Structure 1
């Protein structure tokens, strides 16, 4: 019995420092893990001049009509696009919404929210080799402020819809060579023209411009000249 007790005591003496050391290691790892998680949660996305903001608007049946007949990055639905610009150290978005104008970034982001009250906006950034086009693109875009919204979705009529504005901005800065590509537009879903488009163009007393050249937010989001870098809905990169 004495021999057994002596053995137990010896084992305890050996194990105790080891367990204390092990406990200290675990405590250190927990601190590191907690700090890392905290940093991930609080890390702020740094938006840059020329970043493209793709938005899923729910403001009208027309937005749903746009999303039904177009395809976006990762099958996301986009009905609007703007471009970020810093003006006097304040955050703005240049867009063609009710006409060409700037809007505060916060106002833009809060225009359409998901169920968790997060902005339904995804950010695309030009690939590095194209970023030299941004200053002149923004300069041209700012010169178009106060021009009317293009309700007919026609290119080169002196009016601008959202993605047409982005198209022309980079066309001009790229020495009048197409940067984002025009494609034949369609207003059909599964081979049938949507009623929302029939009603829309009937009110304008215009023929539906089926297959005429145009551009849309979803198409731009698929361009290999940009990279989708941030999703405001879940704060993911």
Structure 2
């Protein structure tokens, strides 16, 4: 039975905005697409996800933005290992050192696509800055979601929100974060403004496209 064009169109929209895991090939990536990295269960990755996860279908600990330049795909991001850099998509994938198919593509809705050129320019101006291990906002170092929020700030795509380091299963500051900040001689910045990959993924200005296959 032939599916009417209108019905097919509605189905495609529902699929693209739901948690349905489609596969996205490199050739289907667009300039300005966001690449989220799925979180692990342990170590820093697990600690980030424990206190920031909003949706049981989405658990992320890192994010970058795609730049499509003269037929080549690059990721602009703030790396914990390399600082704020621009690197090829395959190099980006290799540095994650996780299971394959752990990269998830999100895309700005069509009404915000015009903001991307200025966003890419803003992101490039931040390259070279070191990684911010305190996750306390400052202008001299950046962490991954901070890098992305600042790049899009001119268009108000994302918002800074009060950070929390409370483990929802205990209602108390997560032990990992207590130790993490104690080693830096800092108080846990509970309630200070910031952002995280899970929070950015929840923006109503972007849609989930699917898992990236390299």
TM > 0.5: yes
Task: Tell me, in whole angstroms, the C-alpha distance in 1 between the residues paired with 2:63 and 2:54.
Answer: 12
Q: Hey, what's the Cα distance between the residues in 2 that align with 1:228 and 1:130?
A: 15
Counterpart of 1:201 (choices 181, 186, 197) is 181
Rounded to whole Å, the distance in 2 between the matches of 1:202 and 1:144 is: 29
1:210 equivalent in alignment to 2:195: no
Query: What are structure 2's unaligned runs of at least 5 residues?
Result: 1-21
Out of 83-92 and 133-142, give the one that drifted further: 83-92
Give the match for residue 8 of structure 2.
none
Q: Structure 1 residue 57: deviation in Å?
A: 4.3
Counterparts of 2:120 and 2:93 in 1: how far apart (Å)? 20
Match of 2:52 among 55, 65, 70: 70
Which residue number corresponds to residue 165 of structure 1? 147
Question: When you count strand as a share of all residues, which structure comes out higher?
Answer: 2
CA RMSD of aligned residues (A): 2.4
Higher relative contact order (CA 8 A, sep 6+): 2
Tell me if the contact between 1:49 and 1:134 (Cα under 8 Å) persists in the aligned partners.
Answer: yes
What runs of 5+ residues in structure 1 fail to find an aligned partner? 1-40
Larger Rg: 1
Q: Distance in 2 between matches of 1:56 and 1:161?
A: 16
Report deviation, 1:157.
3.2
From 189, 208, 211, the counterpart of 1:228: 208
Q: Which residue of 2 aligns with 1:106?
A: 90
1:189 matched to 2:167? The reply is: yes
Give 1:49 deviation, angstroms. 0.7
Q: Which moved more, 1:104-113 or 1:144-153?
A: 104-113
Cα distance, 1:72 vs. partner?
4.7
Q: Shift of residue 83 of structure 1?
A: 0.5
Are the aligned partners of 2:84 and 2:131 in contact in 1 as well (CA < 8 Å)? yes
By percentage of residues, which structure has more helix?
Answer: 1
